[in-house]
Chains A and B, each alone.
Chain A
């Protein structure tokens, strides 16, 4: 196992994975990963298809619990508590560590109900309209939908739907937002809007993002982790990873020689 000492610039870790392994049945998808996610930063997970980056991401809010036959070993430290410790409620974990998925997946309900779902299921009492508006503003969608909150979410374009999904996640006030290739199903203009949004969001949230798009990782992230065949090959400040990586495999990947 290799650990990388990273200068966090005085920031505390929002998440810290140690000896993290994931198995799907007999197959090991992630091997002994150690990774520290600094607070209020954007961490990109990159690597070729099937390298385990999405699986790793899904460890951070116990989404792998939903996959039959998946088994997680190791620890993920969150405010001094292990996410996989006994007595930890995965439902509470997911409320505090939200997730945005690859394909926009709004509920077949109105725009308003999509955003209000999270607060509702978490027993929110108070100004629900205010929470919905705030979340839509943070996701830079309010101006486009404020006059048609009762319309079906399916009436929105793909890019708008994805921002709605981000708003939906923000409405439960998470500390960390996990994003699994959030722009891969979108056109370049919608992608750009999502990237700008991520830049805005890191003031208030810690973001971990999986991406296939190297330029995207270079543009939006502060730290980059390169995974290959289930192993964390290299982790460090994005600039270092892209300009002066320590490992040959990292350099080969970021320069597009494989993957």
Chain B
């Protein structure tokens, strides 16, 4: 048989058959790798839904923690998570966006800004428990903020800021230079270029990054244990200086108990947490689309 087939697909050599087989195998392997994630999520959801769906009702959302499983609920933890989330967003968003704008639009490129940039990237990779220790030493002890929501929010802000800064820088950098030149060419000052043109165009990217970072924050447990969030709270917070608990911590505290009823409670808590996450992502998508339509 000659090396080159004389008609399409007919008279295939062994080489041809083998490379075709490799191609098919490779495609299947990649497909299987994709399935790992999907299947894992499906199993997780099924397991949680089967265990927890029965316990998920209004009473569960409106009751406080209790040693009697039939009376226990996530009211304090849900309220605590939402308080923490809003406060963290209010602190981390403006600071991060300002830092990103400074680094991209104002700072001269020097070894100092390079060092800052590298540090921000490194901070994004620091384990969250380390932030917890920092929060304990700085906010709880040194600043005397005690085991308050504010301490927790400040700690989580430190945790998410590097991620928001980097996402915002990326978004600011993606604004075409020609837009800046056009604005400067019309006699706009740097502040006007940034506030009228660059930030509005970068906003969808900044919002996406922020919400992704906050989604990570809402699932954090370790740093909050260190700054004093407790597993058993029988009231909803009234201010930023109140004690608090959060959903992941409540879930953990339930799941570590021996009774099956508490495990069902934990599963129901997980469903609430997932719903909170999903609704945040939905908000992110809506905000992004609205910001893009205005273009």
Contacts and interface: CB of A to CB of B under 8 A. Distances in A.
Interface of A: 61, 63, 66, 68, 91-92, 94-96, 98-99, 101, 103, 105-109, 117-118, 121-122, 152, 154, 165, 168-169, 172
B7 interface: no
B184 A105 contact: no
Interface in B129-187: 176, 178-187
A118 B183 CA distance: 8
A95 B192 CA distance: 14
Interface string B196-224: 11000100000000000000000000000
Contacts of A103: 178
Given A68-B109, A105-B176, A107-B197, A165 B295 contact: no
29 contacts: A61-B185, A63-B184, A66-B180, A66-B184, A68-B108, A91-B187, A91-B188, A94-B184, A94-B187, A95-B186, A98-B185, A99-B181, A101-B178, A105-B178, A105-B179, A106-B182, A107-B179, A107-B182, A107-B197, A108-B201, A117-B183, A117-B196, A118-B187, A118-B188, A121-B183, A122-B186, A165-B182, A169-B186, A172-B187
A99 B192 CA distance: 18
A66 B180 CA distance: 9
B187 A107 contact: no
Contact of A154 (B186, B196, B201, B295): B295
A105 B181 contact: yes
B189 interface: yes
B184 A95 contact: no
Given A152-B295, A165-B182, 8 more contacts: A66-B180, A66-B181, A66-B184, A103-B178, A105-B176, A121-B187, A121-B192, A169-B186
Contact of A98 (B180, B186, B295): B186
B199 to A, nearest CB: 12
A198 to B, nearest CB: 17
Nearest to A105: B178
Interface of B: 108-109, 176, 178-189, 192, 196-197, 201, 295
Q: Name the residue among A92, A117, A121, A172 with the largest chain B CB count within 10 angstroms.
A: A121
A172 B176 contact: no
Q: Name the residue among A94, A99, A105, A154 with the largest chain B CB count within 10 angstroms.
A: A105
A172 B186 contact: yes
A118 B182 CA distance: 10
Contacts of A68: 108-109
A118 B193 CA distance: 11
Contacts of A98: 185-186
B196 A63 contact: no
Given A105-B176, A121-B192, A121-B196, A94 B185 contact: yes
B186 A121 contact: yes
A168 B178 contact: no
Nearest to B186: A118
Contacts of A99: 181, 185
B254 to A, nearest CB: 49
Contacts of A172: 186-187
Contacts of A61: 185
Nearest to A118: B186
Contacts of B197: 107
B181 A63 contact: yes
Contacts of A106: 182
Contacts of A152: 295
A121 B185 contact: no
Given A66-B180, A66-B181, A108 B295 contact: yes
A195 to B, nearest CB: 21
Give the 4 A-B CB pairs with smallest separation, nearest first. A95-B187, A118-B186, A108-B295, A105-B178
Contact of A122 (B108, B176, B187, B201): B187
A121 B192 CA distance: 7
A122 B196 CA distance: 13
B295 A101 contact: no
A107 B179 CA distance: 6
Nearest to B180: A66
A25 to B, nearest CB: 12
B201 to A, nearest CB: 6
Contacts of A95: 186-187
Contact of B185 (A63, A108, A122, A154): A63
A63 B177 CA distance: 12
A54 B109 CA distance: 24
A188 B82 CA distance: 60
A165 B183 CA distance: 11
B187 A92 contact: yes
Contacts of B295: 108-109, 152, 154
Contacts of B189: 91, 121
Given A68-B109, A117-B196, A121-B196, A94 B186 contact: yes
